[in-house]
Amino acid sequence: DAKTTQPPSMDCAEGRAANLPCNHSTISGNEYVYWYRQIHSQGPQYIIHGLKNNETNEMASLIITEDRKSSTLILPHATLRDTAVYYCIVRAPNSGGSNYKLTFGKGTLLTVNP
């Protein structure tokens, strides 16, 4: 699985867009980019994933660069409840018989300030 690099922390003002970057320069052609978050004392929560096209759902948007070496998760109107650690994970859809383990790195602690 490709290695990912994220900033350790970011701040965002409530109501503003939060843009969380992730570098995955060694990503392979069949690997997807997944984003999860973990709010304090809760289980991880799936947010969104994509292969090469930009994706949007009710929670966030995912922008993947054309060369696929980096991506940005966008929370369009951050709220205090979005304060969490955000994880970028790269995985192939079916990893040739290996398990479907998710490897969470250190992620980015996003703090949304009032």
Partner 1 sequence: DAEITQSPRHKITETGRQVTLACHQTWNHNNMFWYRQDLGHGLRLIHYSYGVQDTNKGEVSDGYSVSRSNTEDLPLTLESAASSQTSVYFCASSDHDRPHEQYFGPGTRLTVT
Pick 53 or 99: Cβ nearer partner 1: 99
Three-state secondary structure call for residue 10 = strand
Shortest distance, CB of residue 8 to partner 1, whole angstroms?
A: 14
Pick 8 or 43: Cβ nearer partner 1: 43
Shortest distance, CB of residue 45 to partner 1, whole angstroms?
A: 7
Shortest distance, CB of residue 34 to partner 1, whole angstroms?
A: 6
Are 8 and 14 in contact, with CB atoms under 8 Å apart? no
The phi, psi pair for 80, rounded to 5°, reads: -60, -30
Pick 89 or 110: Cβ nearer partner 1: 89
Residue partners of 105: CB distance under 8 A and separation at least 6: 4, 6, 87, 88, 89
* Interface contacts to partner 1, rule CB under 8 A: 32, 34, 41-46, 49, 89, 91, 93-94, 99-106
Environment class of residue 43 by beta-carbon count within 10 Å: exposed (0-12), middle (13-18) or buried (19+)? exposed
Pick 43 or 114: Cβ nearer partner 1: 43
